[in-house]
Amino acid sequence: MDLPPAYKRAAPRRAAERPVSGPSSTDNFPSGEAWARSVLIAPLPRVEADLAERWPAVAGAPAAVRVTDLVDLRRGYWRTQVGTRIAPAHPAAVERGTRMHRTLGEILGPSAAFEVQIARAGVVGQIDALLDVPIELKTTSQAVPAEELLERRPEAVVQLVAYCALSERARGWLALVAGPRAGPFAVSVGEFEVGNLADRLRALAHEADRLRDALGEGSPASLPACRWYDRGCEFQRDGLCDCSGKEEEERSPIIFGIAPGRTVEPTRAEWETAWNRSPAAPAPPVSSFRDLVYPRLAYMEATRGRTEGYPRGPTSELRRRLREVLEAGPVGAVARLLPRTEQAPDLIESWQGEPTLVRTTHAFARPTPEEIARSAPQHALELGFRCAAVGIPNGRLVLGWERAPAGQIPFRVLRYQFEPLGTFSRMWRERVLALEATRRDGRFERLAACPAWRARSCPYQPECGCPAGRTSR
């Protein structure tokens, strides 16, 4: 591999690192003793080197803009400025999301990749499903025929065209699933031809620059009117934006010259039948993998009130960049895997086919597998649960190093091997049962305590009493 000179200089010869069992310390995760014996952690030097080759180009470019922020530039501006409201997911929304993914998975089968993430030309997008065409799926209360989608749902068409450009596909499908309020689901599937892909990608990059310029100026004045003004925009409702509703309207140049969609039959009819056959999906017993890793914290947040605020704190810049460097790889390398169990709270993020976590550390020295196993056992636990959800015994951790000296590659890539994987399925069941029992009787002491570092700034510590009141599971 031919690293740039600065990186060659900064990469001293190191002895090969051995795999370690982990996590080894019970100090950092009081409940870690038993499951730690099922984890083996090893560096992945070749994978790390491949990423390192891509890193300088990604790190030296302006931060990528999300396609969803280009759909309506003004909302994109305010979303970036003030953050997104994090509200606990409504059970109906959780049910809808679970059903949507399960039904789409059944319809498309293993040949499709789901929630594919791609970064190109300073723009990053997440495609609901990718076959030989990208598929953008929307749920809605009102059916819209494919031929009217361009007029009535231009934002969704903008998204689809952006995904065609990012995935280098000349056409894409926009699927709208309406209902069911009283009657059955109505599905429309519209195919859109996007024309010259290079032109579309240029239009995307141009829109991304407009948003960056507005953010740089600290004013959205140059951006077109928000289509959601007086139609339920949360930034207007919460008094967070200064839009007046009199701004100039504009059709997105991303869909310039696009012809209306045409219905894709018999696909549309087949999907509609599948949707109406699909039974309602029960909400999973936990709403996130975080709740499985920190069940006591999850219980406290649910019963004492969540203290995480709105607006949300900024995501680590390094973490965002690490995602970009993965997403800049081949189309389909970053996708989400469909879990094998309905108990899973989400699809499973993966990279090159293995469940993957992207995290960062503020360690003072370059993190070694031993140090990561000791100080951050939560990564092993979370990856173990995610691997159990898809039945894959290997996962990956891409760990950014926030304090990396200038010129050094600021990340590690590690493989976590879980043997036997059943340890994590069993622990998952035990934790769910314990949470359910605690919801009934309030005896939170039975729930696994969080790692010591979390307790130091935990608002529930006076009541909960950890780490002094540790439990072993």
Identify which of residues 203 and 447 has a Cβ nearer to ligand SF4 in the complex.
Answer: 447
CA 377, 379, 380, 385 torsion-angle sign: positive
Give me 180's structure tokens. Answer: 């069911």
Answer yes or no whether residue 464 interacts with ligand SF4 by CB under 6 A. Answer: yes
Q: What is the DSSP string of 55-97?
A: HHHHHTSPPPEEHHHHSSHHHHHHHHHH-----PPPHHHHHHH
Q: Could you say which residues in the range 284-303 bind ligand SF4, by CB under 6 A?
A: 296-297, 300
Answer yes or no whether residue 29 interacts with ligand SF4 by CB under 6 A. Answer: no
Among residues 26, 105, 461, 473, the one that binds ligand SF4 under rule CB under 6 A: 461
Q: Could you say which residues in the range 300-339 bind ligand SF4, by CB under 6 A?
A: 300
- Smallest distance, Å, CB 319 to ligand SF4? 22
Pairing of strands 171-178, 134-140: parallel
- Smallest distance, Å, CB 468 to ligand SF4? 10
Identify which of residues 139 and 471 has a Cβ nearer to ligand SF4 in the complex.
Answer: 471
- Smallest distance, Å, CB 348 to ligand SF4? 25
Q: Could you say which residues in the range 67-86 bind ligand SF4, by CB under 6 A?
A: none
- CB distance 450 to 456 below 8 Å: no
Identify which of residues 282 and 469 has a Cβ nearer to ligand SF4 in the complex.
Answer: 469
Pairing of strands 354-361, 394-401: parallel
Identify which of residues 271 and 460 has a Cβ nearer to ligand SF4 in the complex.
Answer: 460
Among residues 112, 133, 372, 450, the one that binds ligand SF4 under rule CB under 6 A: 450
What are the angstrom distances between the C-alpha of 13 and each of 7, 8, 368, 371, 410?
12, 10, 15, 19, 16
Classify residue 13 by its DSSP letter.
-
Span of 55-63, 180-188, 334-342, 453-461 interacting with ligand SF4 by CB under 6 A: 453-461
Identify which of residues 142 and 303 has a Cβ nearer to ligand SF4 in the complex.
Answer: 303
SS3 percent helix, strand, coil of the chain, rounded to 5, is 40, 15, 40
- Smallest distance, Å, CB 32 to ligand SF4? 14
Q: How far apart are CA 220 and CA 73, in angstroms?
A: 9
Q: How far is CA 240 from the centre of its chain?
A: 25
The torsion defined by the Cα of 119, 121, 122 and 125, in degrees rounded to 10, comes to: -40
Identify which of residues 297 and 344 has a Cβ nearer to ligand SF4 in the complex.
Answer: 297
Residues near ligand SF4 (CB under 6 A): 296-297, 300, 449-450, 454-455, 458, 460-461, 464, 466
